Structure 1
Amino acid sequence: MAWWQWLLDIAGALLLLLVAYGLALVVRRRLIARDGGTFELSHRLAPSDDGRGWVLGLGRYSGETLEWFRIFSLAPRPKRRWPRESLAYDGRREAFGTEQMSLYPDHVVIHCQTASGEVELAMSAASLTGFQSWLEARPPGVDWDR
Structure 2
Amino acid sequence: MAALDILAGVVALAAFLVVRGVALARSRGTVVCRVRDGHGGWKSGVARYVGGELHWIPFLGLRLRPRHAIARRGLTVSSRRMLGIDEGPAGYWTVVCSAERGPLSLAMSEDALTGFLAWLESAPPSAHLDAA
Q: TM-score range by the shorter chain?
A: 0.7 to 0.9
The answer to whether the Cα contact below 8 Å between 2:20 and 2:59 also exists between their aligned partners in 1 is: no
- Is 2:74 aligned against 1:86? yes
CA distance in 2, matches of 1:70, 1:131: 18
Contact 2:36–2:42 under 8 Å retained in 1: yes
Cα RMSD (Å) of the superposition? 2.7
Cα-to-partner distance string for 1:109-128 (whole Å, 9 max, x where unaligned): 11111123211110000000
- Corresponding pairs, count: 130
Greater share of strand residues, 1 or 2? 2
Where does the alignment leave 5 or more consecutive residues of structure 2 unmatched? none
Partner of 1:3: none
Within the alignment, does 1:44 sit opposite 2:36 as a pair?
A: yes
CA distance in 1, matches of 2:102, 2:128: 19
In structure 2, distance between residues paired with 1:128 and 1:93:
11
- Residues 3-18 of structure 1 mapped to structure 2, 5 A cutoff: 6=1, 10=3, 12-18=4-10
Separation (CA, whole Å) in 2 of partners of 1:45 and 1:17: 33
Q: Between Structure 1 and Structure 2, whose CA radius of gyration is higher?
A: 1
* 4+ runs deviating over 6 angstroms: none
TM-score (norm 1): 0.73
Q: TM-score normalized by structure 2?
A: 0.80
Change (3 A) 1:46 1:116: closer
Matches within 5 A, 1:1-146: 6=1, 10=3, 12-25=4-17, 26-27=19-20, 30=23, 34=27, 36-47=28-39, 53-96=41-84, 98-100=86-88, 104-139=89-124, 141-143=126-128, 146=131
| Structure 2 Cα separation of the partners of residues 65 and 45 of structure 1 | 17
Q: CA offsets, 1:4-27, max 9 Å, x none?
A: xx5xx51x3344223322442324
Shift in CA distance, 116/20, structure 1 to aligned 2, threshold 3 Å: same
Q: Which runs of 5+ in 1 are unaligned?
A: 1-5
Q: Is the 8 A contact 2:74 2:130 kept in 1?
A: no
Deviation at 1:89, TM superposition (A): 1.6
